[in-house]
Structure 1
Amino acid sequence: MTREQPGAPESATATYVYAVCRRLDPAALSGLTGLAAGFPVRTLPLGPLTAVVQHVPAAEFAEDAWQQRLSDRAELERCARAHHEVVTAAAACGPTVPLALATLYRGDERAQQALGADRDRFAAALARIEGHAEWGVKVSLPATVPGAPQSAPPAPSRNGGGAGRAYLERKRGLHQAREQHHDRALRTAEDIDTVLSRLATASRRLRPHSPEMTGERHRLQVLNAAYLVTTVRERELLDAVELLRRRTGAEVEVSGPWVPYSFAGEV
C-alpha cells in the first residue's frame, strides 16, 4: 500500500489515514481526538469502501518531525494509543483493515488516489477477516533447569587429580541438562502452537521477546504467536489454553480479542 510523507505540502494540513473499512456511520467516530486535537476524525469515500482519516498539521507531521516524534518513547506510545483507539472504534462497526502508524498523504485527493488503487486488496482483506478477531498467545517457561545450579562448580586446583575429571563431568552434565531443557521448552511451544492453530483460520509466529524486553530474566519466552479466530470459536480457544496450561505446566498468556492487525494485510 502506498505511503508518502508530506515533505513539502501544498497546504497547511496533510491527511492521516487510520484504516479502511466498508460503509461506516460517521457518528461512530464522534468524540475521538485522534492524533491531532482540533481536527475531527472522519470518513473519506473510496468508491464502495471508506477510509477513516484526519487532517493533521503538515509541519508537525513532516518526515523529520515525525521521526523525531517516534524517537520519543512516551510520544510513540501516545501516538500508538490514539491510532489504536480510532481503529478500534471503526472495527466495532464491522471488519476493518488497520493501516500502519504514520500513513500520511499530502491531502484527501492524493489519499483517495493511492488507497483507491489498492481497493481490490482492501476488499479481499475485509472479506478474509470478517467475523474474526485476533488473539495473542505468549508461552514462557523457566529459563534454567529446575533444581539445577546456575553455573558449574569452581574448577579444582591443578593437583586435584580425579577431582578435575569429576569437575569436567559435572560441567558436561550441566550443559547437557540445559540443552535438554531448552529442547523440551521448544517442543512444548510447538505442541501448543499446533493445538491452537487447529482452532484458528490462520496463525502467525512472531519473534519471542527476550528476557531483557520482558524484564523476567528467570523465564524464557518460547512462543509469541497471533491467531485469527472466528467469533464462534473464541470460547473453544480459551478452553484449550486453560487445558494446555494444566497439561504442560507452562505459563500461557492469552490476550484479545483484538482488531486483526497481524492478518488484515494478507490477501
Structure 2
Amino acid sequence: MHIDILTLFPEMFSGILNTSILQKAQEKEKFTYDLVNFREYTTDKHQKVDDYPYGGGAGMVLTPQPIFDAVDAKMKNTKTTPRVILMCPQGEPYTQKKAEELAQEDHLIFICGHYEGYDERIRKHLVTDEISIGDYVLTGGELGAMVVIDSVVRLLPDVLGNKASAPEDSFSTGLLEHPHYTRPANFRGMKVPNILLSGDHAKIKSWRKNQSLQRTYERRKELLQDFPLSEEEKEFLSRLEKD
C-alpha cells in the first residue's frame, strides 16, 4: 500500500510514521508514504492556499486549486485509482469496519485541512470518502489522518507479529474485547481468574466469549442490536439482565 498525505504541516507526521508498528511495517515493505505540502502547488504569487469565504463570515477557506493540482500530480504516478479521503468533522463516523475496508486498497490519499474549512468543490468533485473520527473539532485534519493511517496499516498482512491479534480486537468481531491478564498470577492480592490458569482451552475460549459479551452489554449495549447471537449467547445475556 502507498499513502499520500496532503498537509500544510508535514513535520507533524514524522514521529508517528517512523515509530513502533508503522516503522516496522515500512521495514517489512508493507506500505510506503509521501508527505505533500500542498502549499507547493499553489499558483498564487504569495503562496496563499486560503481566502475569505464568499458571502462573508468568520475564518478562511482552503482554495481548490492547490489541492486539486496536488491530487492530480499524485494520480499521474499511480497505476491504480486511489481513494481520496477528506478528514472532516462532517464526514462519516470512523469505524473498525471502515478501517478493514480501506486496508484492502493499494493507494490512499489523505487531505488534511486547516482554517475554517474547504471550498465545497473539493468535497463534491475530488474526494471519494469523508471521514470524521468523532463529534468534535480539531485545529486540522492531521491528527485524524494519523488515527486512520495507524488503524489501517496495522491491518495489512503480516504487519502485526501475531496474526490473531487484529481479528480479535474490539469491534473486529462486532463486540468489545475480553479482559486480558499476564504474570504474576497474584499481584497485591488481585488474582487472575482460575479458568485462565486451568489449561482447558475450550473452557477458556467460552469464558472469553462470555466476558466479551458481558463487557459489550455493560459498556456498549447498542452494539448487540445487530449482532448475530447464538441461543447459548442469548441465554447468557438473559441471565445478565436478570442479575
TM over 0.5: no
TM-score by length of 1: 0.25
- Could you say which structure has the larger radius of gyration? 1
TM-score by length of 2: 0.27
